[in-house]
Structure 1
Amino acid sequence: MAKFPLAAIEQHIRYHHPGCPDFAVSYFSNEIAQKEWLDAPLGQAVGITMQSFLRHEMTDYDTLLLHGMERAEARRRVQPRIDAMLKIWRKKPKAHKGKKVGEVGNV
């Protein structure tokens, strides 16, 4: 069994998912650091945690199950939304064009 250090988890997420919001990096890192991972490398632990969170919190997966849908079908239905979110998180955020916060324009 393996436990991963918090700093290593955060570094991994920020490198592989630079678009992931800071609050989510913190949440995922803490969740992963608290568990013992049996034969799972860090990348797999991150993937499992992100997929699970997005499935249960950002889709109607649980509602589909409550309405009697089979687990495999419910997962198949919500996976495109999960994949889209992960795709966004894998990209580095674009810098905002224009004035920076606190910058005063010429008058």
Structure 2
Amino acid sequence: MSTFPIDAVVEHIRHHHPGCPDFAVAYFSEEITRRDWRDASLGQAVGITMHNFLRHEMTEYETLLLHGMDRKEARLRVQPRIDAMLRLWRKKPRTKKQKRSPEVGNV
């Protein structure tokens, strides 16, 4: 069984998922450090935790199951949305360009 220190988890997430919002980094880090991971690397623990959170909290997965859809089919149905979110998190966030103020004296 493995446990991971929170600093290592935060560093891993920020390195591999720089677009992940701060609140999500904090949530995932807490979830990962509370659990014993058998035969899982830190990267696997992060991936499992992110996928599970996104599947259950950010998609209609639970609703599909409640309506009688098979678990495998429901997972396939919501996977594109999970993949899209993870792609966004893997990119560095764009910094907002500062608006240029009009130059004074150019008339």
Greater C-alpha Rg: 2
State how far apart, in whole Å, the 1-side matches of 2:58 and 2:86 are. Answer: 12
Q: How many residues align?
A: 103
For 1:35 and 1:53, the matched residues in 2 are separated by 15
Alignment root-mean-square deviation, CA: 1.4
State the match for 2:98 in structure 1: 98
CA distance, structure 1, for counterparts of residue 95 and residue 62 of structure 2 = 36
Structure 1 ranges of 4+ moved more than 4 A = 104-107
Partner amino acid, structure 2, of 1:57: E
Unaligned runs of 5+ in 1: none
Q: TM-score, normalised by structure 1?
A: 0.92
How many Å separate the matches in 1 of 2:22 and 2:103? 33
For each residue in 1:45-69, what CA deviation from the matched residue of structure 2 results, as whole angstroms up to 9, or x when unmatched?
Answer: 0000000000000000000000100
Please list every run of 5 or more consecutive structure 2 residues that lacks an aligned counterpart in the other structure: none
Identity of aligned residues (%): 69
Q: What's 1:20 paired with? A: 20
